[in-house]
Amino acid sequence: MDHNRIRNRSLFILVVIIACVLGLTGFPKNVTQLKDNLRNRIQLGLDLRGGTHMVLQVHVDDAVKVTTDQTLEQLRDAMTNRSISYTSIERQGISSILIKGIPEEKSGDLGALVSQQFSAWNLQRVPGQLAERVLEMKVSEANTIRNQALDQSRETIRRRIDALGLVGPEVADYGQGDYELVVQLPGLTDPTRVRNIIQATAMLEWKLVRGGPFSSREDALSQFGGVLPPGTELVPGNSASGGSSSSGGQLWYLLTQVATVTGRDLTGAQPGTGRNGGPSVNFTLNRDGAARFGEMTGNNVGKQLAIVLDNRVVEAARINDRITDSGQIEGGFTPQAASDLALMLRSGALPASIAPLNENTVGPSLGADSIRAGIIACIVGFVAVIIFMLAYYRGAGVNADVALVLNLIILMAALAYFGAVLTLPGIAGVILTVGMGVDSNVLIFERIREELRHGKAAGAAVAAGFEHAFRTIIDTHVTTVAAAAILFAFGTGPIRGFAVTLTIGLIANLFTSVYVSRTIFDYVLSRRQKGEALSV
């Protein structure tokens, strides 16, 4: 027997055990800190810790509508540059643009313009109307925009949640093709605030004020004969920022329809203190945004500039000087509101509005009950397995039990090191791992017994047993890991927790059932008297 190999393997196993213990306990200074480390090293999922589960509907057609509006403005400018006259251009529905008053001799020029600059759109004549054309977005382009809106919404919500410092949040697709997201927030203590942060579109725009404020929408329309000037729109004021009249009615502002600078041009946003001493949001712009902002403010000194958030005027202030790469947003914010707005602007604007479809709250007491039941199930199953292995395999059963204990230690330590979230199905994965660990040892021990019955010496029987059983163990573990990978890829929250614990447990089981068990057998054989029977 190679004593050096046994010693080297034993040292490696000892290093693994020490690393696992440190992963679970850290470097505690006292018993209290040890208990806290053991409690906090492993993150608990929603079903064990309590928290909020939400299903959100992403209104992806909003993104299609925004793209259509942007295309409308680009088309208007392009037609003006090419001297293609028209009487009006307006959006129809969410993905089509109606162009009226096109001279017949300019039809070819319009067709050439669309094919060159608007390849994602189809230009068609309006039946019975020779001077009208409809620009319709291609179906493939609309579907691409919808999918991109869903992806961007998912990432934006994830960034907002991460900025709140919640532990183990989950944001994933929900359903099949319904543009829905599932959000799981373990340990959430203020669901109302988080829901508002998640749902806020946070679309920030800077627009010039062309008129107002008006006491009502009807008052604003009456000032212009019931028809707004071209390129303008009416936007309500935010009551939280003083956007209400003295009589309690909503104030309205006439603004330019196209924003010179938007939240997409932001490079940073932080809560701060305004000129009047109240909470504010300080922002900085990228180079391109700063250039456009500087040109716009420099050409309109003395005029009013409106800051529009989610289609509501937060602040309308006089431009006193040219502003370039930084500025400040004031609007009667509370400190919490200023902090939340800065967070949303940093994480980016949602491309579409979001509405909650379902919201459930799991109380911490229910999670504690689940933990208690799961631990009891683990202990009962583990003890039953240990007793069985000792009774059936005698001395070799001790070997198997040591491997099982080390398997669980490695599994828990891996969860702590990787920051994986333990869920209720994850506990089921732990229990299943114990079962598969026993299965591996049973395969090995039965092969050893078979070799002994064929008359082989103890050392040769152990070597042959491990060699022959290894292929079967690898096959069963690889197929199970493949199934777990599929669960992880397509599952959410608890299901992924099950896949994680099962995968880690199976990898640990390969190490303990093959490497550790073989080392223990080799050590026992090295100290065995000649002719002594192997206890298996």
Q: How does residue 529 score in pLDDT terms, banded at 50, 70 and 90?
A: low
Cα–Cα distance between 315 and 307 in angstroms, integer?
5
Quote the mean pLDDT of the chain.
Answer: 82
Q: Given this model, what pLDDT does residue 365 score? A: 62
**How much is the average pLDDT of 174-195?**
78
Q: How does residue 354 score in pLDDT terms, banded at 50, 70 and 90?
A: confident
Q: Higher confidence at residue 512 or residue 353?
A: 512
Residues 263-273: tens digit of each pLDDT: 777 777 788 88
Q: β-strands 204-214, 252-256: how paired? A: antiparallel
Q: Higher confidence at residue 66 or residue 365?
A: 66
Q: How does residue 240 score in pLDDT terms, banded at 50, 70 and 90?
A: very low
Q: How does residue 241 score in pLDDT terms, banded at 50, 70 and 90?
A: very low
Q: How does residue 122 score in pLDDT terms, banded at 50, 70 and 90?
A: very high
**How much is the average pLDDT of 494-507?**
85
Nearest alpha-carbon partner for 122 in 143, 139, 107: 139
Report the b/e string of 340-365 with b at 16+ CB within 10 A. bbbbbbbbbbbbbbbeeeeeeebeee
Angle at 522 between CA 518 and CA 528, to 5 degrees: 140
* Tokens describing residue 178: 């319904």
* C-alpha separations of 224 from 14, 110, 228, 313 in Å: 84, 32, 6, 21
* Bridge partners of residue 100, in order along the sequence: 88
* Res 245 pLDDT > 60: no
* % of the chain beyond a pLDDT of 70: 90
**How much is the average pLDDT of 410-434?**
82
**How much is the average pLDDT of 419-442?**
82
**How much is the average pLDDT of 214-228?**
86
Cα–Cα distance between 271 and 339 in angstroms, integer?
5
Whether 337 contacts 361, CB under 8 Å: no
Cα–Cα distance between 414 and 412 in angstroms, integer?
5
Q: How does residue 69 score in pLDDT terms, banded at 50, 70 and 90?
A: confident
**How much is the average pLDDT of 225-246?**
71
Q: Given this model, what pLDDT does residue 253 score? A: 92
**How much is the average pLDDT of 331-346?**
74
DSSP letter, residue 515: I
Spatial neighbors of 55 by CB under 8 A, at least 6 apart, are 174, 180, 181, 182, 183, 356, 357, 358, 359
Question: Which residue is listed with tokens 């050893």?
Answer: 448
Cα–Cα distance between 93 and 344 in angstroms, integer?
29
Strand ranges in 200-311 using DSSP code E only, listed in sequence order: 204-214, 232-236, 252-256, 261-262, 266-273, 279-285, 304-309
Whether 17 contacts 30, CB under 8 Å: no
Q: How does residue 203 score in pLDDT terms, banded at 50, 70 and 90?
A: confident
Q: Given this model, what pLDDT does residue 254 score? A: 92
**How much is the average pLDDT of 499-509?**
88
Q: Given this model, what pLDDT does residue 396 score? A: 82
Q: Given this model, what pLDDT does residue 142 score? A: 92
Q: Given this model, what pLDDT does residue 15 score? A: 92
Nearest alpha-carbon partner for 433 in 492, 477, 493: 477
Q: Higher confidence at residue 2 or residue 239?
A: 2
* Res 108 pLDDT > 60: yes
Question: Which residue is listed with tokens 């329309």?
Answer: 221
Residue 160 burial (10 A CB sphere; 0-12, 13-18, 19+): buried
What pTM did the predictor assign? Answer: 0.62
DSSP assignment of 65-106? HHHHHHHHHHHHHHHHHTT---SEEEEETTTEEEEE---GGG
Residues 285-307: tens digit of each pLDDT: 888 888 888 888 888 888 888 88
Q: Given this model, what pLDDT does residue 242 score? A: 45
Residues 124-182: tens digit of each pLDDT: 988 888 888 999 999 999 999 999 888 888 888 887 787 776 666 788 888 767 889 98
* Bridge partners of residue 307, in order along the sequence: 206, 315
- Mean pLDDT is highest, among 151-160, 232-241, 485-494, for 151-160
* Res 366 pLDDT > 70: no
